[in-house]
Amino acid sequence: MKLVLCLFLCLQISCSSDARKVMAPNDEDKPIPSQMPTEPIPEIPDDQKDSSYFYFAEQEEAILTDLNSLDEASRKNSRYLLCSDQLNAFGKKNSDVCKLGVSKLLNSISNERQLISGKEVGAEGSIVRFDLRDIGLSSKDWRLIENLDPFKFRSETVRGKTIRFLTQSVRPFMFANNAAEVMLVKAYYKLQNIPDTLALFEAQIGVDAQRDFDQRDVGLVLIGMNESVITSNRQHRLMRRLEGFDGAYWCTYDTNDKNIEPILINGQLVNQKNLLEAPFPVEVRSNKTFVSDAGECIYTKPNGMLGFALFAADGSRADFAPTNIVQDTGSAGRGLSGTIQNARSCFRCHAGGFVPARDSVAAQIQQSTGFNAADKQKARLFFKGPDAGLAAIRNDNAAYLKVMLNLGIFDASEDPINAIVDRLRLEQNAKQVAATLGISEEELLVGLRSSTGATSIMGSLLQPSGTVNFQQLIDGLPVLIVDMNLFKDDE
């Protein structure tokens, strides 16, 4: 039996020997067949029929059958995300969670106004087909996703070649966890068309902060605090709410753990990283302006989903937030990196929408002798008190949770996207690795024992309860695939 891996992992591939290199990023030889293959499609082996295990040959068969039901334009725009690995390794319950993750992922990436539903095919509907046009993406966008996937494996079976020809795609299907990792990290800003600077970004989504502050817009809210659990050492944090073309827009302004020299303002030494001394954003037109080192922004997309962006102190777009400013405590608690990386980390922390926050500086400003009457009046206008901030967050979350319900996500406290990506990034046992390859655990172990190169990297899988980490998968799978002669039809 020969199979294919269409995968998945979002780190740099490194093989111990050039002779064992499966495929470099730029050495694809005619990846899309110029014509429909003429070879007959082999029968699926009897041991793969009517089984609770969803072998890869059966997955390809399900995809090909589905493609043949479509017109030519739909075939060329059809792509498939696979939850079959979750079905094989953990059963239907986990496959269903994976499919919820696919639904949330596709609608979060979508640039359209309507929510979409994918078509479920294959065993337990564990393969989800979607149309690029329905989420506002092009074949060029999908090619970006393919190029950012460092594992360039493709099927060399007759079915695989046929699928590539019908879709005119190099890799028309990916595992859902890998697709999420690629789409929400390296490809996210490009797919969402987010500009390089905060100013351009706000203009693009219809936010004019100075106008709203000058007009004292009713939707504008400021929250000041040093209580956030994700900030390092509970540093001061300023949050503000504005509105864009499609709804709520929240940004935080955070400080790192490095002190700055106080400056003289109105005869007083003022620490501009301290909200109790300099509480205002620049738009308030006060000389006691808060100085931040980074910011995280959440905005409402046209279809009601949430979008995310990180920005540095100078307003330039950022891929991650330094851990001495804020930390991904949710991932760290699972043994993963605590670095906030857009937008995967944001999806975890904001699974239920905007995190409730209570203003704690408004009352202190009024009681302080460090502010004149004019600044106290400005504070009353914009820091509207703890109840106003919480009410705004509750209202925004109510709108978002309606969208989640429309997607069939009834418990928004856990993000189904990170639920599947976590399995990709954490240690995996032999059953999980075999499920990813679409072969049985016994086949994997037999092949691993016969592959000296793969054993040197992934040999721990041969031990009882043995596991491999992310990097071992990256290094070992290409060697194993070559030595087991996988992903080709029997000759």
Q: Do 377 and 321 share a structural domain?
A: yes
Q: Are 428 and 450 found together in one domain?
A: yes
* Residue where a domain terminates, one of 406, 431, 450: 406
Whether the per-residue pLDDT at 334 is higher than 80: the answer is no
In this structure, is residue 3 part of a structural domain? no
Asked if the structure places residue 420 within a domain, the reply is yes
Is 391 in the same domain as 437?
no
Based on the fold, state whether residues 447 and 375 are members of the same structural domain. Answer: no
Q: What is the spatial distance between Cα 206 and Cα 236, in angstroms, rounded to a whole number?
A: 28
Same domain, 244 and 383: yes
pLDDT at residue 232, rounded to an integer: 65
Residue 453 sits in the same domain as residue 305: no
Q: Which of 385, 406, 427 is the last residue of a domain?
A: 406
Residue 84 domain-assigned? Answer: yes
178 and 260 both lie in a single domain: no
Which residues 6+ apart lie within 8 Å of 88 measured at CB?
53, 54, 434, 435, 438
Look at residue 432 in the predicted model and tell me its pLDDT. 93
Residue 21 pLDDT > 80, yes or no?
Answer: no
Q: Which amino acid is at 121?
A: V
Q: Which of 117-121, 348-352, 432-436 tops mean pLDDT?
A: 117-121
Structural domain ending residue among the three candidates 384, 406, 428: 406
| Residues 177 and 201 reside in one and the same domain | no
In this prediction, residue 358 carries a pLDDT of 86
What's the order of all strands across the beta sheet hosting 317-318? 221-225, 237-244, 247-254, 294-300, 306-312, 317-318
Q: Which residue has the tokens 């400021």?
A: 222
Residue with the bigger pLDDT between 274 and 68: it is 68
Confidence of residue 46 (pLDDT cuts 50, 70, 90): confident
Residue 8 falls inside a structural domain: no
The verdict on residue 12 lying in a domain is no
pLDDT in tens, 153-185: 778 899 999 999 999 999 999 999 989 999 999
Amino acid at site 258: K
Residues 181 and 199 in one domain: no
Average pLDDT, the chain: 87
- Residue span of the structural domain in which 128 resides: 18-185+416-484
Residues 295 and 161 in one domain: no
In a domain, 129, yes or no: yes
Is residue 6 included in any domain, yes or no?
no
Same domain, 70 and 174: yes
**Domain shared by 399 and 480, yes or no:** no
Judge whether residue 34 has pLDDT over 50: yes
Task: Give the Cα separation of 89 and 297 in Å (integer).
Answer: 37
**Count of structural domains, the chain:** 2
pLDDT class of 143 with cuts at 50, 70, 90: very high
Is 426 inside a domain boundary? yes
Pairing of strands 173-175, 78-82: parallel
Identify the H or E element spanning 297: strand 294-300
Q: Dihedral of CA 410/188/318/213: which sign?
A: negative
